[in-house]
Amino acid sequence: MTPKRKKILIGALAVVLAAALLCLSGLTSTERENISTPEQFLREMLAPLQNGASVISRNIGNWGAYLQGVDNIRAENDELRQEISELRLQLVDLAEYQQENERLRQLLNMVDDVSSQFDYVTTTVVNRSQSSWYKTIVISGGENDGFAVGMPVVCAQGLVGRIINTSANTAEVMLITDREGAISAMVQNTRTIGVVEGDGETSELSMIHVPYDAAVENYQQIITSGYGGIYPKGLLVGYINSIELKSDGLMLDIDVRSYVDFNRLEEVMVLKPKA
């Protein structure tokens, strides 16, 4: 074969390979229900190691916090004690409301609250985002524990995200802060509907598609609306931090803050539909 022909052949092969890889990446750019066997193998291989690493990093973090000053921790402890006593009083009121709510629901035959539809399965976070481009976490527990694609994931502070793929013993969760993790949500007090989405860069969220005349105020709670079929209604998303009128004058740009610290997630709960 002449050098010129060899060059043409290599060039043609490179173009074919590049086109094939681009096609493959295009096909796998969206969520996949099933991940391939090599991906499952690597995930299973990494899971125990990641679990160990997360324990080490947590310990390092704890030491860092300790070194920051015992005085700060004491002051914070006093504040938290005070807050706990205030919350205890509120809890009594809430228990009353809950009982009243349950009685009224029974009267109306309503069974659409989250706890009646889902079991909360607690699990631990074994790894954070595999790449800086995406906001995901890997949790322990997978198909063997009954986890499936689409199941919502929450923690004590509110909504975390949803499962996007599973292996036998792990599951990957797309956080609501990912640029593809948008959710249908509403303002709890006024029932104003909008879409909460992340920017994919920070842990900040914004609520869009809210008309300029919507009755919204700072510090109002945002919950899931139940539309779209992925997240059930009533999961806490965050609160309104600031409101601005968009440049077109028709829509509001609402800055939403989640109560969840997405960089320090340790335990989460998967909402498993009741059988």
Partner 1 sequence: MRKMRRRLLLAVLYLAAFLLQYGFFNNLGWGVFCPQLLLFFPVFAGLLRGCWFGLAHGLFAGLLMDLVIGRFLGLNMLVWGLAGFLTGRLTASLFKENYLIAIVSVLLSFTFGSLLYAVLAGLVSGSFFSMTLISRIILGGVLVNCFIAPIVYLPVYRSLSYGWLQPQPKRRA
Residues that bind partner 1 (CB under 8 A): 18, 20-22, 24-30, 32, 35-36, 38-39, 42-43, 46, 49-50, 53-54, 56-57, 60, 127-134, 165, 172, 179-180, 199-201, 263-264
Residue (46 or 121) nearer to partner 1, CB = 46
Give the phi and the psi of residue 114 in degrees, each rounded to 5: -60, -45
Residue (38 or 229) nearer to partner 1, CB = 38
Compute the half-sphere exposure of residue 140: CA atoms within 13 Å on the CB side of its CA: 16
Q: E-strand spans in the chain? A: 118-127, 136-140, 152-155, 158-166, 170-175, 183-187, 193-198, 205-211, 221-224, 236-245, 251-257, 267-273
Report which of 255, 260, 225 is spatially closest to residue 243, judged by C-alpha positions: 255
How would you classify residue 154: left for phi > 0, otherwise alpha for psi between -120 and 50, otherwise beta?
A: beta
Residue (12 or 49) nearer to partner 1, CB = 49
The Cα–Cα gap between 211 and 172 comes to 35
Q: Residue 224: helix, strand or coil by DSSP?
A: strand
| Minimum distance, C-beta of residue 196 to partner 1, in the bound complex (Å) | 17
| Minimum distance, C-beta of residue 50 to partner 1, in the bound complex (Å) | 5
Report which of 179, 180, 183, 214 is spatially closest to residue 196, judged by C-alpha positions: 183
| Minimum distance, C-beta of residue 128 to partner 1, in the bound complex (Å) | 6
| Minimum distance, C-beta of residue 140 to partner 1, in the bound complex (Å) | 13
Residue (58 or 74) nearer to partner 1, CB = 58
Residue (61 or 211) nearer to partner 1, CB = 61
| Minimum distance, C-beta of residue 162 to partner 1, in the bound complex (Å) | 15
Could you tell me how many helices (H) and strands (E) the chain has, helices first? 4, 12
| Minimum distance, C-beta of residue 38 to partner 1, in the bound complex (Å) | 5
Residue (20 or 84) nearer to partner 1, CB = 20
Query: Could you tell me the CA-to-CA distances from 139 to 57, 175, 245 in Å, in that order?
Result: 16, 12, 39
